[in-house]
Amino acid sequence: MDIEQDVKVGTLPKGFEWGAVKAGIKASGKPDLAVAVAPKGATAAAMFTKNLVVAAPVTVGRRHLAATGGRVRAVLVNAGNANCATGQPGIDACVKTCSAAAETFGCIFDEVFPSSTGIIGVPFPGEKVVAAMSALKASLGNTNSHAEQFATAIMTTDTRMKVARAVVDVDGVEVRIWGAAKGAGMIHPQLVAPTGPPHATMLVYLFTDLIAESGQLLGLLERAVERSFNSISVDGDTSTNDTVLLLGSGASGVKLSARTKEPFENALKLVCGSLAHQIVDDGEGVTHVVTLHVTGARTEAEAKQVAKAIAHSPLCKTAWSSADPNWGRVIAAAGYSGVEFDPAAARISIGSVPVFEAGVRAEFDKADAHAVMMQREYTITIDLGAGEAECRFLTCDLTEEYVRINADYST
């Protein structure tokens, strides 16, 4: 098993085709409509945002997965318009694009899975999507170049394509996973299975040629998402459109079994972990990627609660932007997280430099901590001294550039 962040090697999962075109939705005129097709169909599992306010494609996508019992033939994604807070006209427009896609790609209506990302509250130009349908079909193919076109067209404020792949060898037969993601701002996914209230501006599509049922895929996906996409935050804003979709074409001929489950699950976790890392690394205005390793918690949930308080603290995030080892802001954020612990038993390290212990500043050379923080990426360890549970949470600094990007992203 190996993991790579490019698609140069010709090992894409079998049973899928990808394509993309310019439909005229992005103001920039760049490719903005992508499709992934499983000509023989695929089993599917999806997780959506917990946000109460959801985009039309999330509503429609959930309905379709429920209607088919988890089968997908075509994934239709546009960037440039979120089709959110667009009311019944937004739902109607989404349905029309699904109908057109079903006709174009030769499947039933419910086998089309729609996604949108972009600005909220602007009427959705469904007619542009419908008009682009035959060009979209003509763009299909199964080469690396086709997959890259898919991964590029779904981008919004992303500065680069985000893809990852893994291969699992089962008695000489390869089972492949390839994933593509987009997302740079409004990143604090809180994904749940479609039973909860749904929603996503982070979009993730995972393709594999494993043979597995929809319910099996969902179990694998939930476990992989919890420690990847559900453990990152750029700005703490949970989007209305976050969606992670896992499709299994079955084209490898290898079944999910007691024997293949563990290596496959590990490979899926690696792909999700890589994509989650790429999202934070390409976060809006990011100059430092920080792993918060919270240890000594009573429960993993409490560890995560502490990590989120720190990850969402503007004071911690601005200190990271200037590589300032201001551990006082970190312990203060942990202190208001709502989790109980004894500050005198807590410890904080920046990289391998202890900065806080026994309730006071540790003996350390500020230059050492500063040197760690000058790196693009490092870890801050917060030991609560209260138990055995831990978590790793990936976040980033807050810079003037983040403010500029989001003050200028005008409606």
Catalytic residues: 201
Residues ≥6 apart with Cβ < 8 Å to 226: none
Binding residue count for its own copies, defined by CB under 8 A: 72
Residue choice 85, 95, 193, 345 for contact with its own copies (CB under 8 A): 85
Cβ of residue 87: shortest distance to its own copies, in angstroms?
A: 4
Single-letter residue type at 16: F
DSSP code for 211:
B
| Helix or strand (DSSP H, E) at 400 | helix 400-408
Cβ of residue 336: shortest distance to its own copies, in angstroms?
A: 4
How far apart are the C-alpha atoms of 268 and 246, rounded to whole Å?
10
Cβ of residue 15: shortest distance to its own copies, in angstroms?
A: 36
Nearest to its own copies of 207, 320 (CB atom): 320
- Among residue numbers 178 through 197, which ones bind its own copies (CB under 8 A)? 185-186, 190
Nearest to its own copies of 76, 398 (CB atom): 398
Nearest to its own copies of 328, 351 (CB atom): 328
Least Cα distance to 397 among 327, 316, 326 occurs for 316
169 HSE (CA, 13 A, CB side): 5
- Provide Rg for the chain, Cα atoms: 22
Cβ of residue 31: shortest distance to its own copies, in angstroms?
A: 24
Interface with its own copies by CB under 8 A: which range of 152-160, 219-227, 274-282, 310-318?
A: 310-318
For tokens 């501006």, the residue is 201
Site string for its own copies, 112-131 (x = CB under 8 A): -------xxxxx--------
195 HSE (CA, 13 A, CB side): 4
> Which residues are bridge partners to 28 per DSSP?
none
Q: In degrees rounded to 5, what are phi and psi of residue 348?
A: -130, 135
**∠ CA(217), CA(188), CA(312), 5° rounding?**
145
Q: How many CB atoms lie within 10 A of CB 90?
A: 25
Residue choice 4, 174, 237, 281 for contact with its own copies (CB under 8 A): 237
86 contacts its own copies (rule: CB under 8 A): yes
Residue choice 59, 104, 240, 349 for contact with its own copies (CB under 8 A): 240
- Among residue numbers 321 through 380, which ones bind its own copies (CB under 8 A)? 321-322, 324-329, 331-336, 339-341, 343-344, 356, 358-361, 366
Site string for its own copies, 136-175 (x = CB under 8 A): ----------------------------------------
Single-letter residue type at 297: A
Cβ of residue 102: shortest distance to its own copies, in angstroms?
A: 26
- Among residue numbers 12 through 31, which ones bind its own copies (CB under 8 A)? none
Residue choice 177, 311, 319, 372 for contact with its own copies (CB under 8 A): 319
How far apart are the C-alpha atoms of 82 and 26, rounded to whole Å?
11
Single-letter residue type at 292: L
Residues 292 and 393: beta-carbon distance below 8 Å: yes
Residue choice 59, 104, 313, 395 for contact with its own copies (CB under 8 A): 313
Nearest to its own copies of 15, 194 (CB atom): 194
Single-letter residue type at 102: A
Nearest to its own copies of 175, 339 (CB atom): 339
CA distances from 51 to 55, 92, 310 (A): 10, 21, 21
Interface with its own copies by CB under 8 A: which range of 35-43, 159-167, 174-182, 237-245?
A: 237-245
Interface with its own copies by CB under 8 A: which range of 103-111, 224-232, 375-383, 395-403?
A: 395-403
SS3 388: coil
- Among residue numbers 36 through 65, which ones bind its own copies (CB under 8 A)? 49-54
DSSP code for 334:
H
